[in-house]
Structures are given as structure tokens and as C-alpha cells.
Amino acid sequence: MKRMFVTLGIFLFLCCSKSSVSFAQKSSAEKSSAEQSSPNTLWGPRLPHRAPQATSVKPKDIDWKREIVYFLLVDRFADGDTSNNNAAGPKSHKKFEEKLGNFEDLKTYQGGDLLGIIAKLDYLKDLGVTAIWLSPLYQNPNENFLGWWSYHGYHPLDHFSVEKTFGDMELVRKLVNEAHARGMKVILDTVYNQVAVQHPWVQDPKNWNDKGFSKWFHELSGKDDKTSIHNWEDEWELENRELYGLPDLKQDNPNVYDFLLDMSRYWIENTGADGFRLDAVKHINSNFWQRITSDLYKLYGKNFLMLGEVFHGDTKVLVRHQNDGFNALFDIPLYFDIRRVFAEGNSMEVLSNRILEESKVYSHKILWSTLIDNHDLERFSYVAKDHIREKIKNATTFLAVMNGLPVLYYGTEIALTGGPSNDGKGNGTEHLNRRMMDWGKVEIEKKPDGLITYMKNLFALRRSKKSLYDGKFVEFYKDPCVYVFAKVSEKEASLAAFNNCSVKQKVRVPVRYNLFTEGAELPEFRGTNKTKISDTALNLSLEAYSSEVYNSNNVNLSEFPKDFEMSVPVSIGSGSDFVQHRFVFEVPKATSVSVAGDFNGWNPKAHQMTQNQNTKKWEILVTMKRGKHPYKFVVNGSEWLIDSTATVFENDGVGGKNSVLNIP
């Protein structure tokens, strides 16, 4: 079957590009599967099972609330076997060297493999992470696609073979066993939505037509480059059109479901992995997710991690998926706000608004996974631009003191550099944020004031204090620069304090509900200082771009009500990084108007405007960081309008414009 390829700019946003083999080069296992398939039926062929009929894997006894996950791209972490660097072909591996500026070579394999990861397990254990999330291990195509080699694994070609540039199944088992011996878990990245463009089911006419594999895909798959998703807010398109031109599996086909369940069991049974990270959740209907999570839980227990990726910044979209059977979901809206606040320097009120919103709409039966870095977007270090290490410490501290499942992206612990995620012309540049792990920087960050030392101590604290990994959240104080809150468990409480501004901050923080007893001393987790409760308040002095975490068993829970109020009013504060700006908007027949922009995480509920009864204009005074701020007005809760009085505008990324405010 002939396929037309999508443009490079659209295609590259997916995740990376792993290599591909032609039909003639496919593995013998893949050949035997196709040859043994049943005759063409209403649902196409039914492939023979590869997983054992009875499970040999015992249910896991894991409390994921206490775990700390480290996500690594296998090809970019450590090269333990140089002999397989060119396994995908002589042109598939070109070593990137920063001093040469050969950035295009980051689109090829860089040599990372399973042996390299095994050799670094002690490093990961010492860092304090307790679980490793591996990028997909499937055999991917071994030819480049529009200049990109398929190093990431998200384009499966053979679902039952390990990518040969990484190693083989024996090495996967060895990695899992070695990790388990160190008390660490392993999470495998699993792809249910699509296959590689070069997959033999799709490319070979005999498979597609005669054997009926065309019935394994949604009707739009394989026709031309117009079959990809166009409207990213249309749920039907997300589930039935192709994701950047990749053949889109039809999961409600019983033969496809049977294959995907068999594939899942094959990897679990053969490796002993502790969980799956589930790619592209919003692109598959809920019926499939509810069924496959249920089937896998029955086989491997409720503690087998099913961590779903719904990549969207709106909590309403994630809420649609929280009843799909997952025991964990990535908190992408919070991820964007963590970046806006700690990397870009927006007001701490943005985080407060997000936390309070999520407390009302998120299911408490799900473990929400937090992160500050991601392989699909710019690295935190690139966005932060200055005071990078201090800002990383602040953001990582926030992860460590919040409930959920924190995830650390490889290289964040050494402030690995990155670049933009696109070139401004629609072409993806994600390769700039997927450089090889720089092991030369590791020893530097192991010094007493280094990032690795800081994270090691921080992660140890989190795992030892239930108030941090599973406590009730209650705000004590917030202003644009400073955020102070407590985490409360049955026998202890922790206090986290953040200064996100460029100048030292001194604040007096009232102790709510008399949580900490009068005169109690609260030691800071690094042992560098301590604070004391005096007149039911704390006097905190926070250095620029710093955070502190205090913990005490000297707590008074008798006055802490069951239905406590989480939030406190916003204080003005004294940070010179912020000024107050008055937004004014005139619109006829409006019942409500708000202003949303990068300063509040584009939250239309965060800053509700009031109507001046004399001028009939809508107004609000907002505390904002100096600099550039795109924004829009939201009328009647749904209509997003530009400010026609603005002097600067920019594209909003969805075919419209944002107004832009520049505060000197």
C-alpha cells in the first residue's frame, strides 16, 4: 500500500524518530506471525499468542506514593557497548559534539544502550531515585525518515523484539533483575496507539489487502497526508485520525485488542517489569483503557503501575480520563505552571490557583505524577536562562513536597542544556533537548553545594516523611514572590517555604490552626538553619531563588479541622520583581469578564474582572512580573478576545492572536 508522508515539521513533534526496517528486512518472528495469521475475516487476521497462557509474575507490593521516578531516553543516557552503535546502519550514528556545533547529528543515534544503563544503576540508586522509566524498547525502523533516525522508540515495527541498537531481551531481563536487587523498580514505555509508517502490516500489499490488516486500522489510516489530526480539540479526531501520519490502530477491533493485550503480557512476563507508562492516552477511546487496565490488574495486581500520558494543559481534559482505569496520570497542567513560575518567574499565585483548582476536580483515587522537565518540550534549564541551578533546586523541592509521583528527567540533575522545541517555522527541534547525558558534569554536581547532592538529600527526606508524600495541603502565606504551606499527616507536619524572586525576602507567617506548638523549633532539612514558633508565627528569611523545608513532630492536631480551608488571601509582598498593572476592557452585553495570560497560567478563572458602574468598563488590578506577557480577555466564560487597545500582538499558536503587554 502506498503512503504519502506528512511534512517534517508536523511529524517531528511526536517524540523522536526511531529507525525502521523494510518488509523484506523484518524479523523472522514478525514473518511467522503474519504467515500464521488466520484467514481474512470481518476483523482481519488473528495472530497467534506470544505470551504464556498462565502468568508467572506475582502481584507487586509497591506503594507508588513513596517512589521517585527517573525518566531516561535509552539512546541518550550511557553507551555501554560501542559495537552496536551502527546497528541500524552506517549512517544511523553520528556523534554530537557541542564544540563542533553539529546539532543535526542529534537526529541520529547517539549510542546509549541497555548495558550503559546497567553500568549506571548504582549512580541512580545513590541519587535517590527508586524507579526507572525507560523509553520504548521495541524494534523500530532502521532507516531514516525525512532526516530523522528513530532513536526514541515510539514507532513500533516489531512489538516482540528489542531495538538492536539497545541490546536484546536478555539484557532487558538483566537490567530489571539488577534494578530489583538494588530495591529499584522498572517502568516500560508502552505504545498502543500507532505503528511505524514502515510497518509490514501497512507497507506490504499482501498483508494490507489479502490478509486483511487494513481492518486493524481506523478507516482514515494509510490514505494520504490529509488523514492526520487537524482539530486538536475534537475528541473524535484525536481518537480516529492519525497522530502525525502514523498508522492508527483500531483498538475496538477484537483481534487488535487481543494482540495488544498479548504484547503487554509478553513484556511483563519476560522482564518482570513493575509498571507501564502509557503513551498517547487521549488518542484512544476510554473503553479500551478501561478494559486493558482491568485485564492487566487481574493478572498482575492493582499495584502494577499504569501511568497514563494525557498531554494537555487543561484540567478538564484530564478529568475526562480519570475514570479510565489508570492508577496514575501525569499532571500536565501543573507541569506547565511549575515551568511558568520557577523557570519563567511568574507569580507564586499561579501555583496556588492550580493546586486549589485541582483539589476540587481531581480524583483522589489516582496518583498524580508531577514533573518539571519533559522530552517533548524545551528543557527547564533552557527556559530558566539565568540562576538555572537555583531555579532547578526550587522546582525540584516543589515536586518533593507535593503528593503524587515525582518524575525527574535525565540530565536535570546536572542542568543539562537544551534549546527551543521548534524553529518558529513549524519544524520541530526537540533533538536539542535530548542531548547525551554529560557524565563529566556529574562529579561537579556531587560537591556539597551541587544539584546531585541537593536532590539526594531532598529525595531521602521525602521518602522518610509521610507528611510530604501523603499529607494534607494547607497554605500559610503567599505573595508574588513567596509561597509557604504545610503538609500534615497523623503524627507530623512539614513546612515548605519558597522565594522565587531575585532579592532576599523576609516575611512573618502566622501559624494556622496552631499547627506547630508555641516555642517549637523547626529544623531545616539540610541542617543549615532552623526557625522557631514565636507568638504563633514564624519569621522567615529566604535568600533569592531559594526554598526551605522544615519538619517537626511537635505538632498540635487537635485544632486542625476535618473540613479545613486550604487557601489564604494573597499578600502584596515586597518583591521588586513585580508591579501592579490595571487591565481595562470594554465589551457590550457581558455578564462576566476575566483576563488570562502567561502570568496566571492562562486560567480564565484566576483573575475575574469587575465592572465599573460609572464607565461600564471591566477592570482589575493584577500583580505581575516585569517583562513581556501575552494575554486575552475571556467574556462570559468562553469567548476569548484580544485587547484592541494593545500596541503589540503575537500569534497564539492556534490561528489567532494574543495581545502582548510589556512591563519595563
Check which CATH number belongs to the domain holding 114 and give it: 3.20.20.80
CB atoms within 10 A of CB 99: 5
Which of the four pLDDT bands, split at 50, 70 and 90, describes residue 5? very low
Dihedral sign computed on CA atoms, order 509, 515, 518, 523: negative
Ramachandran quadrant class, 222 (left: phi over 0; alpha: psi -120 to 50; beta: rest): left
> How far, in Å, CA of 172 to CA of 453, rounded?
29
Q: Is residue 388 part of a domain?
A: yes
Q: Are residue 392 and residue 489 in the same domain, yes or no?
A: no
Q: Is residue 41 part of a domain?
A: no
| CA distances (Å), origin 407, targets 234, 400, 579 | 29, 10, 34
Which of the four pLDDT bands, split at 50, 70 and 90, describes residue 87? confident
**pLDDT per residue over 439-486, tens digit each?**
999 999 999 999 999 999 999 999 999 999 999 999 999 999 999 999
> How far, in Å, CA of 113 to CA of 140, rounded?
14
Which of the four pLDDT bands, split at 50, 70 and 90, describes residue 9? very low
- For 472-525, the three-class secondary structure string (H helix, E strand, C coil) is EEEEEEECCCEEEEEEECCCCEEEEEEECCCCCEEEEEECHHHCECCCCEEEEC
For strands 657-663 and 627-635, give the pairing: antiparallel
Asked if the model's pLDDT at residue 223 lies above 50, the reply is yes
Asked if the model's pLDDT at residue 504 lies above 70, the reply is yes
For the record, the C-alpha cell of 306 comes out as 499504569
> How far, in Å, CA of 497 to CA of 522, rounded?
12
| CA distances (Å), origin 59, targets 152, 298, 346, 521 | 29, 9, 44, 43
Q: Are residue 190 and residue 270 in the same domain, yes or no?
A: yes
Q: Is residue 42 part of a domain?
A: no
For position 221, what pLDDT does the model report? 72
Q: In terms of residue numbers, what domain contains 642?
A: 578-663
> How far, in Å, CA of 537 to CA of 570, rounded?
17
Q: Is residue 372 part of a domain?
A: yes
With beta carbons less than 8 A apart as the criterion, state whether 465 and 495 touch: no
- For 306-333, the three-class secondary structure string (H helix, E strand, C coil) is EEECCCCCCHHHHHCCCCCCCCEEECHH
Instruction: Report residue 272: phi and psi, to 5°.
Output: 75, 25
Asked if the model's pLDDT at residue 37 lies above 60, the reply is no
> How far, in Å, CA of 57 to CA of 468, rounded?
32
Q: Is residue 109 part of a domain?
A: yes
**pLDDT per residue over 129-170, tens digit each?**
999 999 999 999 988 777 888 899 899 999 999 999 999 999
Supply the mean pLDDT for the chain. Answer: 90
| Burial annotation 204-215 (CB, 10 A radius, 16+ → b, else e) | beebbeebbbbb
Percent of the chain residues topping a pLDDT of 70? 93
Q: Is residue 561 part of a domain?
A: no
Which domain-ending residue is among 420, 445, 463?
463
Reduce the DSSP state of residue 130 to 3 states and report it: coil
- For 545-556, the three-class secondary structure string (H helix, E strand, C coil) is CEEEEEEECCEC
Asked if the model's pLDDT at residue 26 lies above 70, the reply is no
| CA distances (Å), origin 333, targets 72, 171, 312, 354, 494 | 22, 36, 7, 8, 25
- For 199-267, the three-class secondary structure string (H helix, E strand, C coil) is CHHHHCHHHHHHCCHHHHECCCCCCCCCCECCCCCCHHHHHHCEECCECEECCCCHHHHHHHHHHHHHH
For position 425, what pLDDT does the model report? 74
**pLDDT per residue over 557-608, tens digit each?**
888 888 899 999 988 776 678 888 999 999 998 999 999 998 888 889 889 9
**pLDDT per residue over 171-194, tens digit each?**
999 999 999 999 999 999 999 999
> How far, in Å, CA of 336 to CA of 314, rounded?
10
Half-sphere exposure of 411 (CA within 13 A, CB side): 24
With beta carbons less than 8 A apart as the criterion, state whether 521 and 549 touch: no
Alpha carbon distance, N-terminus to C-terminus of the chain: 58
Least trusted range by pLDDT, from 80-94, 260-274, 398-412, 449-463: 80-94
Query: What does the pLDDT average to over 392-421?
Result: 97
**pLDDT per residue over 38-63, tens digit each?**
557 899 999 999 999 899 999 999 99
Asked if the model's pLDDT at residue 33 lies above 90, the reply is no
Which domain-ending residue is among 518, 552, 586?
552
For position 610, what pLDDT does the model report? 97
Give 422's strand partners: 428
Q: Are residue 198 and residue 250 in the same domain, yes or no?
A: yes
Q: Are residue 367 and residue 421 in the same domain, yes or no?
A: yes
> How far, in Å, CA of 251 to CA of 236, rounded?
14
Instruction: Report residue 595: phi and psi, to 5°.
Output: -120, 135
> How far, in Å, CA of 488 to CA of 485, rounded?
10
Which of the four pLDDT bands, split at 50, 70 and 90, describes residue 225? low
> How far, in Å, CA of 222 to CA of 197, rounded?
9
Instruction: Report residue 20: phi and psi, to 5°.
Output: -140, 150
Instruction: Report residue 145: phi and psi, to 5°.
Output: -120, 110
Q: Which among 394, 390, 387, 171 is positioned nearest to 270, based on CA atoms?
A: 171
For position 224, what pLDDT does the model report? 63
Q: Are residue 482 and residue 346 in the same domain, yes or no?
A: no
> How far, in Å, CA of 344 to CA of 625, rounded?
10
Q: Which among 422, 428, 418, 331 is positioned nearest to 383, based on CA atoms?
A: 418
For position 31, what pLDDT does the model report? 40
For position 227, what pLDDT does the model report? 83
**pLDDT per residue over 286-304, tens digit each?**
999 999 999 999 999 999 9
Which of the four pLDDT bands, split at 50, 70 and 90, describes residue 552? confident
Of 517 and 441, the one with more pLDDT: 441
> What is the DSSP code (8-state) at residue 339?
I
For the record, the C-alpha cell of 172 comes out as 532487558
Which domain-ending residue is among 463, 491, 510?
463
Q: Is residue 572 part of a domain?
A: no
For the record, the C-alpha cell of 142 comes out as 532502521
Q: Which among 582, 608, 595, 589 is positioned nearest to 643, based on CA atoms?
A: 595
Which of 33-37, 238-242, 404-408 reaches the highest mean pLDDT?
A: 404-408
For the record, the C-alpha cell of 529 comes out as 538553619
Dihedral angle, C-alpha 463, 464, 468, 471, nearest 10 °: 110
Q: Are residue 286 and residue 335 in the same domain, yes or no?
A: yes
With beta carbons less than 8 A apart as the criterion, state whether 1 and 205 touch: yes
With beta carbons less than 8 A apart as the criterion, state whether 454 and 597 touch: no
For position 25, what pLDDT does the model report? 32
Q: Is residue 43 part of a domain?
A: no
For position 561, what pLDDT does the model report? 87
For position 58, what pLDDT does the model report? 93
CATH number of the structural domain spanning residue 520: 2.60.40.1180
Q: Which residue type does 55 have?
A: T
Q: Are residue 212 and residue 286 in the same domain, yes or no?
A: yes
Q: Provide the whole-model pTM.
A: 0.89
With beta carbons less than 8 A apart as the criterion, state whether 566 and 611 touch: no
Q: Are residue 205 and residue 222 in the same domain, yes or no?
A: yes
> What is the DSSP code (8-state) at residue 4?
P
Query: What does the pLDDT average to over 655-662?
Result: 93
> How far, in Å, CA of 284 to CA of 529, rounded?
51
**pLDDT per residue over 608-638, tens digit each?**
999 999 999 999 999 888 889 999 999 999 9
Q: Are residue 58 and residue 144 in the same domain, yes or no?
A: yes
Q: Are residue 269 and residue 128 in the same domain, yes or no?
A: yes
Q: Are residue 452 and residue 485 in the same domain, yes or no?
A: no
> How far, in Å, CA of 164 to CA of 86, rounded?
10
Q: Are residue 416 and residue 507 in the same domain, yes or no?
A: no
**pLDDT per residue over 294-340, tens digit each?**
999 999 999 999 999 999 999 999 999 999 999 999 999 999 999 99
CB atoms within 10 A of CB 545: 23
CATH number of the structural domain spanning residue 631: 2.60.40.10
Q: How many domains does the chain have?
A: 3
Query: What does the pLDDT average to over 262-284?
Result: 98
